[in-house]
Structure 1
Amino acid sequence: MAGDAEATRRRLLQAATQEFSARGLAGARVERIAAAAGSNKAQIYHYFGSKDGLFAAVFDALVERTTSTVPMDVDDLPGYAGRLFDSYVDHPEVQRIAAWHRLEQTGTDGTTPAAARLRSIEQSNRTKIEAIAAAQADGRLPGHWLPEELLGLVLQIAAVWHSSVPEFDDLLTGSTREHRRQVVVDAVGRLLTP
């Protein structure tokens, strides 16, 4: 029955992704997740331990999918930003769940408690920062930004259209997906000029 267990776990993650994307951690209900997955609440607690554990599993799965389908190429950071932009357009739940994580897992002092920190994103960012630092050390990337600053700027630029308020989006009615993508690629390219 291992196949059944894995299928149930996948259905729960898929249903939870939709629920957390729409309602966040606080607004999500395990009853709705279980019903949407054709499962029950007991299985959520069995597989994930808690609603927080389920949220972390969803976030980890999204990080894993994004990092495996959109690997960073330090020799083409503008292209990487463009591919991230594409991924965010094609999978809007990623940015929504990331926003809920920032809102609901960050303390008033701006830090994330250790219990709420997600190792997948921390490891992904560490690996990227190390790759950027190595490329800076051997001259493939300019060194006028610290590696973590450069990564942060690239990630924020790639997500710029997905993090704006609807009122700003209304101003961009004539802006196509292709144009927005090109703005992202060009902006990251300019970051790399001395």
Structure 2
Amino acid sequence: MARDVESTKKRLRDAARQEFAEHGLHGTTVERIAARAKANKERLYSYFGDKNALFTSILIEELEKVAEAVPVRVERTEDFGELAGRTFDYLRTHPEVQRLLMWEALADTGEVADELNRRVHYRSKVEALEAAQRDGLLDDTISANHLQFLLLALANWWFAAPQIARMLTEGSIDEDEWAGRRRAVVEAANRIVCGKSPSGSTRSDREDR
């Protein structure tokens, strides 16, 4: 019996993840989730409460997976670029993460799922970058919280607006194109933390003048 319950829960969560990623919170119905999971919709209410609670639960779960797969570690300056690259890699293989976040933003109810814990999570990332700035590994012209947001933007936007990426890059999206996109993300991230001005001088060069 316990195995059947866990199996049904998994089917419902998997179906809901797909439905929410495709249609968002408001565009998804309990009936469609249940049909996709081949389960009774009453099971959804029994196991997860309601559609909103299930969306929140799935979003939190997906963000926890990202945090585990792409921890913020900066021991060398170039690690920042590679961090952006690994974020890009994860989103490429898990496009539902970006879609869920976009749907959350579009819903914009004024409430963010699990906001307190997510703030703590993001704060830990910022603190890791602050430590790297203090150690001189990263330029500190840009504050660490803005730096973290820029890193996410560099990696995420390819998946948030794939139609724009397709129009800009033209051609087929083959492995060479994916590799080029990743190189661009890594290079742009590394250039951001090198502290170069438009003239090409570094921040430390300017301070010595």
After TM superposition, the score normalised by the length of structure 2 is: 0.82
Specify which of 131, 134, 137 is matched with residue 140 of structure 1: 137
After TM superposition, the score normalised by the length of structure 1 is: 0.88
Q: Aligned residues, how many?
A: 188
Q: Report the secondary structure of 1:132's partner residue.
A: helix
Which residue is equivalent to 2:152?
155
Give how far 1:28 is off.
0.2
1:26 counterpart letter in structure 2: H
Please list the CA deviations of residues 91-125 of structure 1 after superposition, one character each: whole Å capped at 9, or x if unmatched: 11111111001111x25xxxx326x4445533321
Which residue is equivalent to 2:179?
178
Which residue is equivalent to 1:80?
83
Contact 1:77 1:189 in 2 (8 A): yes
Contact 1:62 1:94 in 2 (8 A): yes
Contact 2:138 2:194 in 1 (8 A): no
Residues in 2 aligned to 1:7 and 1:193: alpha-carbon distance in whole angstroms: 50
Give how far 1:168 is off.
4.8
Question: 1:189 aligned to 2:190?
Answer: yes
Superposition pairs for residues 71-150 of structure 1, below 5 Å? 71-75=71-75, 76-104=79-107, 106-107=108-109, 112-113=110-111, 116-119=113-116, 121-150=118-147
Which residue is equivalent to 1:48?
48
Give how far 1:140 is off.
2.6
Residues in 2 aligned to 1:36 and 1:123: alpha-carbon distance in whole angstroms: 35
Give how far 1:149 is off.
0.5
Question: CA 1:41–1:122 in 2, change beyond 3 Å: closer, same or farther?
Answer: farther
Question: CA 1:119–1:2 in 2, change beyond 3 Å: closer, same or farther?
Answer: farther
Residues in 1 aligned to 2:127 and 2:85: alpha-carbon distance in whole angstroms: 21
Please, which moves more after superposition, 7-16 or 94-103? Answer: 7-16
Residues in 1 aligned to 2:23 and 2:46: alpha-carbon distance in whole angstroms: 23
Contact 2:9 2:47 in 1 (8 A): yes
Question: CA 1:151–1:129 in 2, change beyond 3 Å: closer, same or farther?
Answer: same
Give how far 1:79 is off.
0.6
Gaps of 5+ in 1: none
Residues in 2 aligned to 1:64 and 1:182: alpha-carbon distance in whole angstroms: 26
Residues in 2 aligned to 1:32 and 1:61: alpha-carbon distance in whole angstroms: 21
* Identity value in percent: 39
Give how far 1:186 is off.
0.3
Q: Report the secondary structure of 1:141's partner residue.
A: coil
Please list the CA deviations of residues 156-191 of structure 1 after superposition, one character each: whole Å capped at 9, or x if unmatched: 001121122624522312360000000000000011
Contact 1:158 1:184 in 2 (8 A): yes
Contact 2:60 2:114 in 1 (8 A): no
Residues in 1 aligned to 2:114 and 2:49: alpha-carbon distance in whole angstroms: 16
1:142 counterpart letter in structure 2: D
Larger Rg: 2
Superposition pairs for residues 60-75 of structure 1, below 5 Å? 60-75=60-75
Contact 1:81 1:185 in 2 (8 A): yes
Residues in 2 aligned to 1:119 and 1:54: alpha-carbon distance in whole angstroms: 18
1:137 counterpart letter in structure 2: R
